[in-house]
Amino acid sequence: MADYIGRLGRQELEAKGITGWNWGFADQVRFYELDALNHVNNVVFLKWFETARVRYVQDLGLTSYGPGDPQLVIRHQTADYFAPMHQNESYVVTARTSSIKSSSLVMDYAAYAEGECRASGSAVLVSLEQDGKTRRPHVAEAVARIIEEDGAARG
Amino acid sequence: MADYIGRLGRQELEAKGITGWNWGFADQVRFYELDALNHVNNVVFLKWFETARVRYVQDLGLTSYGPGDPQLVIRHQTADYFAPMHQNESYVVTARTSSIKSSSLVMDYAAYAEGECRASGSAVLVSLEQDGKTRRPHVAEAVARIIEEDGAARG
Amino acid sequence: MADYIGRLGRQELEAKGITGWNWGFADQVRFYELDALNHVNNVVFLKWFETARVRYVQDLGLTSYGPGDPQLVIRHQTADYFAPMHQNESYVVTARTSSIKSSSLVMDYAAYAEGECRASGSAVLVSLEQDGKTRRPHVAEAVARIIEEDGAARG
Amino acid sequence: MADYIGRLGRQELEAKGITGWNWGFADQVRFYELDALNHVNNVVFLKWFETARVRYVQDLGLTSYGPGDPQLVIRHQTADYFAPMHQNESYVVTARTSSIKSSSLVMDYAAYAEGECRASGSAVLVSLEQDGKTRRPHVAEAVARIIEEDGAARG
């Protein structure tokens, strides 16, 4: 699996003044992310958080999303919007797990630009079998790693 | 302005067993709304709620989104997901205002299919001048109408 | 499978002054389809054509897109844009097959609003096995139906 | 204006074995770009070409897309698809102008991954005033630069 373009770790995030996160990626606003008000549409931030989530759970070993591996589905999410973003702006999206149980977890996300947090969010995720219904416990190693790296509370 | 295709009022919603809402529209899942897990992506529900919101605030008179009219921007939103949706499924999205202040409001949304609520959401919206910064009070007539029709609390 | 909301047949299309097509659907521009220039983004027309295509090939029996059924993938497509479209505009998208071979077909699409064609397109589609590689011949009944209904040339 | 993340010039492209192009950018497939067939949707390639186009015409000086500057709208586009792309795949999108007239131009695009061209496209673009109707001649310096850098034919 190719390295994520723009992938940032704790030290690189801290060098940008973004503290409290171990996992992030850098990117830039594209034209198709703007809406008719000429700023990044509110839903696009949730796509950025999804991009972070998908790669984060692959990196940390919760799932590969492949056949035989757990599905991770969203039960609840929130987003707060602090300031608009515009065409070509560079930004960093961060992700971490705040708590994890045997077959669910709670994640936090944020989008930073020019040193300020433009939007943040959270999501409650549930681990399911490929049938999309039955709960499937997390891989123990991934849980241990998430607790160690992110300081996630064991729920 | 053309009538919304699939626009439903209180009576039509109640005839479908959907109570507590005055405003809704009917639609159907399209292929581009599915993700790689072959169900409607979580972000798509928020696009449906946006579609409802944009048309609702136009219908109720808060803004036309045109030059000179207020911008309505999102400060906070939440979504809860109860059951997945699939290609070609018919659904109804509903919208209402739960509370309204001089230059902000709180809206609720839901998506129903086959008589059950598949997802719900809420949004805190702020009315701004075209500069995207200065608060702009709502049109008084729109506020009165929203309180009357939706029973919104005056915040 | 639920009926397509807004589905139009030859007579309904002709009643709207749209001739030469047997298959169409009516819809309305949504906020998320606008780009920063405040008109429908060029790529969105191709999503509309996709929505038509997916439902057309299901209606005509080429594939259900389900397990065991052929995949239909795009090899080539074109689009021509004649006039912009805006928020809330009602439109009709039409689809037909111009020629069909044993495991491929060529389709035409158009988007009409206020009696004029705003955009048109075409696509070359190939029928594949679920492996996404091996050619799979069309269902003979679907081919016969497409030739009869659309007057498609047998390639 | 921030540098484009992943922006590649002629030498960097040639180092990747991609010849005949002066302008490109590197990126990676995101989850939201996949469709229900679990590969990158055909329309997404056109979004990538749009991302290239918007930044290319800003880089080359045809427009900033800001107030007072020309609008560049699409009249015609084509796309050819050679092989599917999947989650996390790294790719390079390239753009160039093949011919340019006083108020229009023809651009080519391609998407490369693992040394092969997965999709290509072309677009006919027209330069308009902010009214979206009246033709507006290109900036002479931008035309000269495009002819020099891309070897575009003067139409």
DSSP 3-state of A15: helix
Could you tell me how far CA B129 lies from the centroid of its own chain?
21
DSSP A21-76: -SEEEEEE--GGGB-TTSSB-HHHHHHHHHHHHHHHHHHHTS--SSTTSPEEEEEE
Whole-number mean pLDDT of chain C?
94
Please judge whether D51 and A65 are an interchain contact, meaning their C-beta atoms are less than 8 angstroms apart: no
Amino acid at C4: Y
Chain D residues whose CB is inside 8 A of the A58 CB are 88
Distance CA C115, CA C137 (A): 38
**Taking CB atoms and an 8 Å limit, are B31 and D36 in contact across chains?**
yes
pTM of this prediction?
Answer: 0.95
Torsion, CA A82, CA A33, CA B60, CA C93, rounded to 10: -170
Residue-wise pLDDT tens digits, C22-79: 999 999 999 999 999 999 999 999 999 999 999 999 999 999 988 889 999 999 999 9
Rounded to the nearest angstrom, the minimum Cα separation between B75 and chain A is 5
Give the three-state DSSP class for C64: coil
- Distance from the Cα of C30 to chain D's closest Cα (Å) equals 18
Tell me which chain B residues have a C-beta less than 8 angstroms from the C-beta of D36.
31, 34-36, 38, 87
Residue in A42, A74, A77 nearest the CB of B74: A42
What confidence category does residue C3 fall into, taking pLDDT thresholds of 50, 70 and 90?
low
The answer, yes or no, to whether residue C1 has pLDDT greater than 50, is no
Q: Is the Cβ pair B78, A76 closer than 8 Å?
A: yes
The minimum CA-CA distance between B37 and chain D, rounded to whole Å, is 7
pLDDT above 80: residue B87: yes
Residue A1 has pLDDT above 70, yes or no: no
Strand pairing category for C71-81 and D71-81: antiparallel
What is the pLDDT tens value at each position of chain D, 155 positions in all? 345 678 899 999 999 999 999 999 999 999 999 999 999 999 999 999 999 999 999 999 999 988 889 999 999 999 999 999 999 999 999 999 999 999 999 999 999 999 999 999 999 999 999 888 899 999 999 999 999 999 999 87
What mean pLDDT do residues C123-138 have? Answer: 94
Residue B119 has pLDDT above 70, yes or no: yes
Q: Tell me the shortest Cα–Cα distance from B123 to chain C, in angstroms.
A: 17
Contacts of A47 in chain D (CB under 8 A): 30, 32
Contacts 24+ apart (CB under 8 A), D2-8: D2/A28, D2/A88, D2/A89, D2/A90, D4/A28, D4/A88, D4/D55, D5/A5, D5/A6, D5/A26, D5/A27, D5/A28, D5/A90, D6/A5, D6/A6, D7/D55, D8/D92
Contact D50 A27 (CB under 8 A): no
User: Please, which pLDDT band fits residue B5 given cuts at 50, 70 and 90?
Assistant: confident
- Distances in Å between the Cα of D32 and the Cα atoms of A52, A120, B91, B119 are 11, 19, 22, 20
- Give mean pLDDT, residues A105-127: 97
E-strand stretches of D34-87 = 71-81
Distance between CA atoms of C19 and C8, rounded to whole angstroms?
12
Interchain CB distance below 8 Å, C32 and A35 = yes
Q: Tell me, what's the pLDDT at D4?
A: 66
Average pLDDT over residues A74-101: 97
Residue D2 has a pLDDT of 43
Mean pLDDT of C73-99: 97
Mean pLDDT (whole number) for A46-62:
96
Confidence check on the interface: ipTM exceeds 0.85, yes or no: yes
At residue C85, what are phi and psi to the nearest 5 degrees? -125, 155
Residues of D in contact with B34 (CB under 8 A): 35-36
CB atoms near residue C38 (< 10 Å): 16
D28/A47 touch (CB, cutoff 8 Å), yes or no: no
Q: Which residues of B touch C55 (CB under 8 A)?
A: 88
pLDDT of the residue at C2: 43
Q: Is the pLDDT of residue B135 over 70?
A: yes
**Which residues of chain B have a CB within 8 Å of the CB of A77?**
42, 78-79
Calpha distance D117→A78 (Å, rounded): 40
β-strands B90-100, B23-28 pairing: antiparallel
CA distance A82 to B39: 31
DSSP string, C89-143: -EEEEEEEEEEE-SSEEEEEEEEEETTEEEEEEEEEEEEE-TTSSSB-PPPHHHH
Q: Cβ contact (<8 Å) for B78 and A74?
A: no
Residue C95 predicted with pLDDT over 60: yes
Report the gap between the CA of A46 and the closest CA in chain D (Å).
Answer: 11
pLDDT at D61: 95
Q: How confident is the model at residue A4 (pLDDT cuts 50, 70, 90)?
A: low
pLDDT for res B1: 37
Is the model's pLDDT at A61 over the cut of 60? yes
* Cβ contact, residue pair C5, B5, below 8 Å: yes
β-strand partners of D71: D128
Tell me the three state secondary structure of residue B47. Answer: helix
